[in-house]
Amino acid sequence: MANSPPPPGTADIFPEESRRWRQLEQTAVRVFGYYNYEELRTPIFENTEIFQRGIGVETEVVQKEMYTFHDRGGRSLTLRPEGTAGIMRALLNTDVLNGTEQRVFYYGPMFRGERPAAGRRRQFHQIGVENAGRVSPELDAECIAMLMHFLDEIGVTGAELRLNTRGIAADQESAATLLRNFFSSHLDSLCQDCRIRFSQNIWRILDCKQDDCKQIAACAPNYHSCFTPDSLSYFDRVRQSLDMLNIPFRIDRQLVRGLDYYVHTVFEVTHPALGAQTAVAGGGRYDLLLPGQSKAIHGVGFAAGIERLMLTQDAVGVVAQNDKRRPVYVASLGERARMENFKLANDLRHAGIPVIMEMEDKSMRSQMRSANRFHSPWVIIRGDEELMRGTAIIKSMDGQQEQSVHPVDDILDRMDALLNGN
Ligand code: HAM
């Protein structure tokens, strides 16, 4: 068989799998609908500066992972590495900057030039939500609750929610100083990347995945002590709201998230089946500043990786339901019958009945084999004799019913009744 794989870090999603994707997306749409979220579709590429400004030039995503290209007009464009910045660009067309609340969700492909691994792709897919325009700890808790509700509905049990606060921008300076003082005495033991992070983005040392760095970071001082009472009471209210909803969580001060727009609440969901390093979903509250704007958009949201949700579903044994409707097979004997059946198949499809038929001159045996291959529950058969009499034969493929002959004008109603069990 020819072996023609797609580019590294991408995948073809064949029908059996894409059926599961659709079910997952439909569940998301339903659950997010309970919270009054509606879909917003934005382009798959944006002007590069949307991500540079929005996500932060010092982040790994922007520095190392973006698929950036110039179009024929010399504009720098980037395949979206995440959804939030583009969604916020679109929401600038609403009154979101003046505090009008917007609730939107999105799903689709995202692109990051990461080293492919299990659950890590270069084209991956996210289901995400953004609640923009308002600031409230209860909104943060509601957003987390919606994520946990969704995970519950898709059968992902046993997930762990980790929670932290980044404080506001004014808190971060003194907290960063505290961290810098601590890490400066461990510089020699940190990995190469963390030594760069030390001068560029000290927070990222906290969630380095290298074992040595992790051990050192675990001993870092509690930088929450540098946060203002307002920031701390904001965080308390998020925690209290989650407690009220009986949503378990673990405070993890090493959770800082890889995108620079976060303030206050940050959270991630992991699952033992994927390992603690591989988040199924992540999000938080953000202040996002876009090019040409002097005012940041306030929001809270999350995104879950569809591939990772599926890996988790597999691990916990969620069985996908097979909701494919099996097609009726239309079999013909002779050229004239085939042409008439071509029309009959069209009529059946317009009546909402899935149909498959053989377009070439094939024996009845071969057509029956095809019907089996398509798992057709019923076969409609017409040859010259049926044409002459204005009839068609209906044959059940499970052998439980005798085949029967009907006037061709009754076939639509008859098939409808058989398929709907009447
Ligand atoms: P993120 O943590 O970068 O956040 O990505 C969210 C989720 O996307 C991850 O938890 C993971 O499931 C999935 N993901 C990320 N990278 C990959 C990859 N290379 N392969 C497979 N799955 C991946 C964001 O993107 C934020 N925009 C979330 C957000 C929304 N924050 C506020 N609003």
Q: What is the mean pLDDT of each run of 10 residues along the chain (422 residues)?
A: 88 94 96 98 98 92 96 97 98 94 98 95 98 98 98 96 94 92 93 91 89 92 95 98 98 92 96 89 97 95 97 92 91 96 97 96 96 96 96 91 93 93 70
pLDDT at 209: 85
Nearest CA to ligand 1 atom 25: 82
**How many whole angstroms separate alpha carbon 44 and alpha carbon 62?**
16
Q: What one-character DSSP code corresponds to residue 117?
A: B
Strand duo 355-357 + 328-332: pairing: parallel
39 and 102 in contact (C-beta within 8 Å)?
A: no
pLDDT at 335: 95
| Residue positions counted in the chain | 422
190 and 346 in contact (C-beta within 8 Å)?
A: no
The CB of 54 under 6 Å from ligand 1? The reply is: no
Pocket probe mutation, ligand 1, options 308, 310, 312, max atoms within 8 Å of Cβ: 308
Lay out the sheet containing 67-70: strands in order across: 45-47, 76-79, 67-70
pLDDT at 422: 64
Alpha carbon of 64 to those of 60, 81, 115: distances in Å?
5, 11, 11
Residue 118 Cα to ligand 1 middle (Å): 15
Residue 192 Cα to ligand 1 middle (Å): 24
Residue 74 Cα to ligand 1 middle (Å): 29
**How many whole angstroms separate alpha carbon 87 and alpha carbon 69?**
21
117 and 220 in contact (C-beta within 8 Å)?
A: no
Whole-prediction pTM value? 0.94
**How many whole angstroms separate alpha carbon 253 and alpha carbon 238?**
15
Which numbered atom of ligand 1 lies nearest the CA of 120? 20
Q: Count CB-CB contacts under 10 A for residue 94.
A: 15
pLDDT at 401: 79
pLDDT at 86: 98
> Nearest CA to 144 among 235, 278, 38?
235
208 and 217 in contact (C-beta within 8 Å)?
A: yes
Nearest CA to ligand 1 atom 18: 120
**How many whole angstroms separate alpha carbon 80 and alpha carbon 71?**
15
